[in-house]
Every structure is written in C-alpha cells, then in structure tokens.
C-alpha cells in the first residue's frame, strides 16, 4: 500500500523507508529540504519545508493509504529565542493536527503518530508504566507531544480514518544521535563513570524493533484507535547500560562508586538537576499491551541491538 512518512530523512525515518520498501510498500518520504544522501530508488521524495499549522499537504496526500508522522521538534537550543515554547507548540501540536485534518480530508485510512514516553512522565517510580496511567508530562517537549496526541484523537473521533499512537523511550541503533551517541563516545574513550552505586531500571528501544512494530501497525486489520507503549523486552540499570555499551565496543567499562546525593548536588551546581534525575531515576515500560494486540515479540534483544549500533559506530568513527 502507499505510505506517506514525515521526518523521513531522520534517524528513524531513513531506516523505516528502507524497511517498508523492502516489504513491498510504496513509500513517499516527506522531508523539510532535499537531502544530500539519496533515498533508495523505490522511494518517492517530497520536499515540504517547515511543518506547522499552515503547511499545505493536500496534493501530497492524495492516494495515500497510511500516514506515519515521525517529524517533530525535539530540541530547541537557541537561548536567544524567547519563543521556544511557541516553536514546540507550532510544530508538535498545530503541525500534527494540521496534518491529521489534511489526511482525513484526503481519504487516508490510518494515521500513525510517533509520540514519546515523555508525553506520559519522566519517571516510573516503583511500578512499570502502562497505558491506563494518567499522563503527567513535565517539560515543553512532553507537554506538546501529549497535546498532539489529544488533538489527533479528537480529529479522528467518529471518523473513518483511524489513529494509532506509539510512546517510545530513548531509541538507539545505527545512526543514533544525541545523548546515546555521547554515551557511546565516552565509553569508547574509556571515560570513568561515577555511577556504580545506581540501582535503577530504564527501558530503551532498538531501532529495528521500532521499525518492525511500525510496519505491523501499517498492515494490521481491525485495530481500534489508541495509544500504545513500546520498548525492548529488557529493562536495565544505568551502570549495566554502560557495561553493555563498553562490551559491544570492545572496551572495558570504568565504573566507580560515588554518593548519589553528591551527583544530585553536582547537577544543581551545573544547572542541570533534571539530567541527573533522569540518569539515576527509574523509567520502566510495560509494553505487553502492544505485543498482545499485534501478536508480536521484538526480534532483537538489547545485546543484539547494541552490537548493530556498535558496528555502525566503529565503522563511521574509527
């Protein structure tokens, strides 16, 4: 079937386009600007510019069966811009609702939205997160992702078009960027981590598992509108993540004990208390509802996912 993907030039989008083409779908890759690296020959590229409330989607969506909306604003680091919150809202909320309405008008049958676990919360405490828990997003990214979810579900209420929403945790895999890439760089350089005392649980999601699930959501029949949590099958502590990354890179892990309260104090002094809280805190996801609905078990465990990520990392950076 014909699948329209926003954010197609990103970390997830590139891999997803390739996977869907290889499984027989016709893919239109919507990108902000023409990418330097070409897509596969079977992928049609559509340049759409910036996403927001005024984006004109009408011509591009004709004949599309499924829309997968990956694009969004995740980072806004320009501290000189006093309207950062407005930028998040324009792209993540108004842009999503605009696309959903255009998709409904164009006769799209299913709208799949990649949200974030941040739309729910920053930590799970002593209990793994499940779909029925009340969302309590904390930062502007999480709040706008949650508003986008609500806006999308309102658009499809009593409509022919269906809506499926995924809330993933931190995604890793070949091509990863951001904090996970920084952690890999630190492990590869033998950086000492004063994190041995941390005894938390955190869920992650390998790119291959995410793409596999998205493909199943494209094809599954008779599924009700809803929100699903998704993650790898295993949750691990921050020290264990460092050990596994180091092992996959062929490097020794250098973990040292350090009082956790001093880590929090260091975060306060540096003006990043939230970063330390996420580092030492628990964020565990129960993804059993999605697995049951799709009859699906993730094909990759975390060790396999990290091995593939390490191969990419070492090929590209050494």
Query: Could you tell me the two tokens for 171?
Result: 């995604």
- In a 13 Å sphere around the CA of 35, the CA atoms on its Cβ side amount to 18
Partners of 26 in beta bridges: 2
* Closest alpha carbon to 227 in 71, 113, 69: 113
Give the β-pairing of 235-236 and 202-206. antiparallel
Residue 141 among the catalytic residues:
yes
Please, what's the largest Cα pairwise distance for the chain?
59
CA-angle at 228, arms to 226 and 230, nearest 5°: 160
Contact present, 18 and 40 (Cβ < 8 Å): yes
- In a 13 Å sphere around the CA of 183, the CA atoms on its Cβ side amount to 24
Instruction: Specify the long-range contacts of residues 14-22, CB closer than 8 Å, at least 24 apart.
Output: 14/39, 14/175, 15/173, 15/174, 15/175, 15/207, 15/208, 15/211, 16/68, 16/70, 16/211, 16/214, 16/215, 17/43, 19/211, 19/212, 19/215, 20/215, 20/218
Distance, in Å, from the CA atom of 204 to the CA atom of 250, rounded to the nearest integer, reads 21
Q: Which of 113, 141, 172, 206 is catalytic?
A: 141
- In a 13 Å sphere around the CA of 194, the CA atoms on its Cβ side amount to 9
Distance, in Å, from the CA atom of 212 to the CA atom of 214, rounded to the nearest integer, reads 6
Residue 301, burial from CB neighbour count under 10 angstroms (0-12, 13-18, 19+): middle
Residue 153, burial from CB neighbour count under 10 angstroms (0-12, 13-18, 19+): middle
**Residues making up the chain, counted from first to last:** 318
Catalytic positions: 141
């Amino acid at each position: 079937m014909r699948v329209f993907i926003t954010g197609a030039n990103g970390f997830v989008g590139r891999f997803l386009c390739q996977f869907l083409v290889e499984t027989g779908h016709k893919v239109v890759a919507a990108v902000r600007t023409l990418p330097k690296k070409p897509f596969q020959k079977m992928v049609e590229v559509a340049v759409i510019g910036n996403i927001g409330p005024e984006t004109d989607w009408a011509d591009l969506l004709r004949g599309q069966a499924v829309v997968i909306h990956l694009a969004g604003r995740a980072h806004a680091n320009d501290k000189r811009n006093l309207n950062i919150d407005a930028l998040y809202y324009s792209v993540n909320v108004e842009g999503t609702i605009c696309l959903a309405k255009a998709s409904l008008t164009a006769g799209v049958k299913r709208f799949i939205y990649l949200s974030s676990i941040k739309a729910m919360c920053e930590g799970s405490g002593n209990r793994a997160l499940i779909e029925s828990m009340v969302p309590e997003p904390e930062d502007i990214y999480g709040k706008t992702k949650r508003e986008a979810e609500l806006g999308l579900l309102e658009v499809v209420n009593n409509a022919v078009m269906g809506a499926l929403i995924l809330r993933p945790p931190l995604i890793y895999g070949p091509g990863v960027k951001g904090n996970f890439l920084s952690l890999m760089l630190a492990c590869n350089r033998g950086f000492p981590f004063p994190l041995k005392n941390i005894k938390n649980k955190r869920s992650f999601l390998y790119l291959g598992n995410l793409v596999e699930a998205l493909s199943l959501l494209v094809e599954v029949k008779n599924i009700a509108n809803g929100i699903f949590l998704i993650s790898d099958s295993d949750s691990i502590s921050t020290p264990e993540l460092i050990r596994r990354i180091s092992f996959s890179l062929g490097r020794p892990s250098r973990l040292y004990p350090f009082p956790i309260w001093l880590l929090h104090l260091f975060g306060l002094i540096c003006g990043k208390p939230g970063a330390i809280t996420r580092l030492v805190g628990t964020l565990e996801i129960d993804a059993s509802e999605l697995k049951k609905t799709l009859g699906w078990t993730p094909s990759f465990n975390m060790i396999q996912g990290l091995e593939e990520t390490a191969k990419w990392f070492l090929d590209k950076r050494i």
